[in-house]
Structure 1
Amino acid sequence: MIDYILLEKYSKDINVLFVEDDEDIRKETSELLEDIFQKNITIAVDGQDGFTKYMKYHEENNKYFDLVITDICMPKIDGVELTKLIKKENIEQKLIILSAHNESEYLMELVNVGISQFILKPIEFNSFIDIIYKISKEIYHINSEESEELSSTVNLSSNLYWDKDNSQLVQDSAKIKLTKKEFLLIALLLKSPEKTYSNDEIVIHLWKDDLDKSPDISNLKNVISRLRKKVPLLNIENIYSFGYRINVIN
């Protein structure tokens, strides 16, 4: 079953180009897409119009659409040619093809071009939502990773941040001196801030080079206690009986 709360999270910032020449299908499908993608939809009435709007969007925004959804059989430029033109411009472009059953002769060619998904017409709602959910989740994580790569800092509070380029904790423009264990702990927790790391995972990571020792949860608690005293603004959250995660400011 689709988690619609997650679907909203994944899809809300995705920009979509929808290309369809049939007026009735275009109207019905665009209304559904606007509900999902919060009106971040550009509509094109044929392949030529679609490619023109695709390039115009790139020129005006210095980026491509996150997702293109296109019919196959269209005047001027069909969906196969449109797909080839778009892929020539942006090999990474996510594309969904709307296909009638009698258009199967095109499908192998489109697979070779590198489309993301097929949706058969007439569109079946549950299948359509399932595909949109999966590709929206994929685009969301790609965009999140790119944003993290572009950002050189992770904000931990209004006056505290992690300098990713130099692997350094900074508060009020001053670098905070960390012990090896404190550094390893922060770096691990910030690797995936949304994740709660188990006590065992953290202990193994912090003491992986101390083969002659047998650390346990008490050793980890001591490290965290000292770090909290050293940096009160650092919000390391204890998830009772499981482990720890670090809270960041988005």
Structure 2
Amino acid sequence: MLDYNLLEKYGREIAILFVEDDENLSKEMALLLKDIFYKVDIAYDGEEAFFKYMSSTNNYDLIITDIQMPNMDGIELIKNIYRINPEQKVVVLSAHSETHYLMELVNVGVFQFVLKPIDYDNFLEVIFNVSRNIYNKRVYKNEKNSVFIKLSDELSWNKQEKQLILNQKVLKLTKKEFLFLDLLMKTPQKIYTNKQITNYLYDEESELDILISNLKNLISRLRKKVPMLDIQNNYGVGYSIRIY
């Protein structure tokens, strides 16, 4: 079942250009899309759409376009846009009678289609999946470019300095606490196995059970020291850290 709360979350920063020569359908879809996305622009043919695309100060995250339109059809519009931005997300509206165009569109690089007449449940499902992809890529890019990994409202990890920051103050960590966090922060939310962690932390050639017991004590002390640090025990497999 479609999660409308998540769709609303994804749509808050997504700009859409909707291209359709049927004026009634355009108005109807504009009302639907404006309830979800922060910016929705309408164009009635490919030529107008391409002009808006080139004139936009902020790039459109998603283009939704019909195929058969006057002045410039949807295929030419997509080809022109891909020459400028090969990564542009596009959803194509296609009537059953236009299926012969689909292979050409796939060859161009389009993989998302919605058949007309539009089934709104199916349409929203496609839009949800595309929006999630756009949102996740944006979050990943922001996290990758940021020096800080946010762990709570007050807590963050400085990737460059490898420091745990609480309310803008550096927390003092023991050597083992530092090594443990340093490992988990290499790929936040990845589950590191008990063996991976103990190999990283301890040089001793002790039994794995003893090392895991030491690890559990270390994590217990760290949780008491920094309660808002969300260290997750993943069903006895290992540990991960939850980011905000």
Name the TM tier (shorter chain). Answer: 0.7 to 0.9
What displacement does 1:66 show? 1.1
- In the alignment, what sits opposite 1:132? 127
Matched, 1:23 2:17: no
Matched, 1:214 2:207: yes
User: How many Å separate the matches in 2 of 1:42 and 1:175?
Assistant: 48
Q: 1:83 aligns with which of 78, 101, 124?
A: 78
What displacement does 1:98 show? 0.6
What displacement does 1:158 show? 6.5
Asked if the contact 2:18/2:63 (under 8 Å) is kept, the reply is yes
**Which stretch of the first structure deviates more once superposed, 103-112 or 171-180?**
171-180
User: How many Å separate the matches in 1 of 2:176 and 2:144?
Assistant: 25
Q: Could you say if the C-alpha distance between residues 100 and 241 of structure 1 is closer, same or farther in structure 2, counting changes exceeding 3 Å?
A: closer
Asked if the contact 2:232/2:239 (under 8 Å) is kept, the reply is yes
User: How many Å separate the matches in 1 of 2:198 and 2:233?
Assistant: 21
User: How many Å separate the matches in 1 of 2:242 and 2:133?
Assistant: 24
Asked if the contact 1:153/1:161 (under 8 Å) is kept, the reply is yes
User: How many Å separate the matches in 1 of 2:104 and 2:174?
Assistant: 56
- Listed as ranges, the gaps of 5+ residues in structure 1 are none
Q: Structure 1 vs Structure 2: percent identity of aligned residues?
A: 44
- In the alignment, what sits opposite 2:136? 141
**TM-score when scaled to structure 1?**
0.81
Per the alignment, in what secondary structure is the counterpart of residue 227 of structure 1?
helix
Q: Deviations over 1:172-194 (max 9, x none)?
A: 4557454245333354157335x
Q: 1:185 aligns with which of 160, 175, 181?
A: 181
Asked if the contact 2:194/2:239 (under 8 Å) is kept, the reply is no
User: How many Å separate the matches in 2 of 1:191 and 1:182?
Assistant: 15
Q: Could you say if the C-alpha distance between residues 241 and 150 of structure 1 is closer, same or farther in structure 2, counting changes exceeding 3 Å?
A: closer
Q: Could you say if the C-alpha distance between residues 2 and 211 of structure 1 is closer, same or farther in structure 2, counting changes exceeding 3 Å?
A: farther
Per the alignment, in what secondary structure is the counterpart of residue 191 of structure 1?
coil
Superposition RMSD in Å: 2.9
Query: Pairwise mapping of residues 193-204 of structure 1 onto structure 2 (< 5 A)?
Result: 193=189, 197=191, 201-204=192-195
Per the alignment, in what secondary structure is the counterpart of residue 87 of structure 2?
coil
Query: Pairwise mapping of residues 1-12 of structure 1 onto structure 2 (< 5 A)?
Result: 1-12=1-12
Query: Pairwise mapping of residues 145-160 of structure 1 onto structure 2 (< 5 A)?
Result: 145-156=140-151, 160=155
Q: 2:94 aligns with which of 62, 84, 99?
A: 99
Q: Could you say if the C-alpha distance between residues 122 and 109 of structure 1 is closer, same or farther in structure 2, counting changes exceeding 3 Å?
A: same
User: How many Å separate the matches in 1 of 2:161 and 2:109?
Assistant: 38
- In the alignment, what sits opposite 1:48? 47
